[in-house]
Amino acid sequence: MAANPQKKNWFQRHKILGTFLIIFVFLILAGMISNALSPKDSKVQSLNSNENINPPSPPNTYTIEILGTEGIEFSGNIGGGGNSRSIDGSVPSTYTVEGWPAVAVIQKKGASGILKVIMKKGDKILNEQETSAAYGVVTVSSG
């Protein structure tokens, strides 16, 4: 017995419609899941609606003061926000770094004298440390 061509054609049409229906339902579910996972923070919503947009705050600027026995030499690394640089100098010296966290690791180049390192933000002292040890190392950070 030969299959009825109308029945075969009907099944093919419904197979295609069924496939489209499955894809459509999948897309709706994906959109619902995506919406559920998106942040609901009011700041994000206000940024999306262009309300109360504040410019980004300027980077944190820190001052590193290297004090102690005048004239003793030092070397070390200072930096902020993931950037660092090597320094060499003598007491007293002052450096500025930008970015959080700010860090300074300074070592005396000699056996005598006192090395003091102060980390400031504006006029506020955040951290200070000193050493009188021969070739002593001092580490300070912004927090």
**Residues in contact with 139: Cβ distance below 8 Å, sequence separation at least 6, in sequence order:** 103, 104, 105, 106, 129
Identify the weakest region by mean pLDDT among 40-49, 65-74, 128-137: 40-49
DSSP 75-132: EEEEEETTEEEEEEEESSEEEEEESSSEEEEEEESSSSS-EEEEEEETTEEEEEEEE-
Going by pLDDT thresholds of 50, 70 and 90, the confidence category of residue 57 is: very low
What Cα–Cα distance (Å) separates residue 8 from each residue in 18, 24, 78?
A: 15, 24, 79
pLDDT of residue 46: 47
**118-143 residue pLDDT tens:** 999 999 999 999 999 999 999 999 98
Measured CA to CA, the distance from residue 141 to residue 104 in angstroms comes to 6
pTM of the predicted protein model: 0.60
